[in-house]
Amino acid sequence: MAKEPHKRNSLQKALDEAVWINFRHRNTDYKVGVIESVKGGYIIAHPDHSAFEREHFETLPSDYSDMTYKHIASIGMDEDPLKHWEEIRGMVSVVDGEILRFILAKNVPLEKLIRFELACRGYDKDHEWVGFEKAKEIWLTNE
C-alpha cells in the first residue's frame, strides 16, 4: 500500500492530512509523516520511504483538543479543504444558530451523542462489525 509522497504548502494542512491518513489506516502498518521540503512546502510520506532516509519528520498531534480558533479559521478559508474537515464543518454549518447556542449554553454532551450513534451502528472503534450489543459495550462504557 505504498503511496507516492505528495506536497502541501502549509505545515498545518500537511499535519492535518497526515493525521487523517494515519487514522484511516489505523488497522494497517501504513503510516505517514511530514517533512519540510528543500523546495518549499511540506511533504507527506511514509517514514521508511527510501528518498527520505535520515530526514527529520515533524511531530504529529495526537489529537485536536488544543485546536485554536486560528486553525479553525484557516480550515474555513482553505480553497481546497481536506475532505474530513469539509465534512465536519459542513455538519456544524447547517445547524440552526439557536440550536448551536443551546448546545453551548446547556453543555449538551456531544461526545455522548456521537458514542450513542456509533453504538447504534454496530461497529467497533476500528470500523469492524461486532453487532449491536457488543458495540454498546464498546461505545457506551465511558459514562
Q: Tens digits of per-residue pLDDT, 56-90?
A: 999 999 999 999 999 999 999 999 999 999 999 99
> 11 and 58 in contact (C-beta within 8 Å)?
yes
Q: What residue ranges do the domains of the chain occupy?
A: 6-94, 109-139
- Bridge partners (DSSP) of residue 114 are none
Q: pTM of the entire structure?
A: 0.89
Question: Span 126-134, mean pLDDT?
Answer: 96
CA angle at residue 116 from 113 to 121, to 5 degrees? 130
For the cut 60, the answer to whether the pLDDT of residue 38 exceeds it is yes
Tell the residue number behind the cell numbers 467497533, with chain if given.
Answer: 124
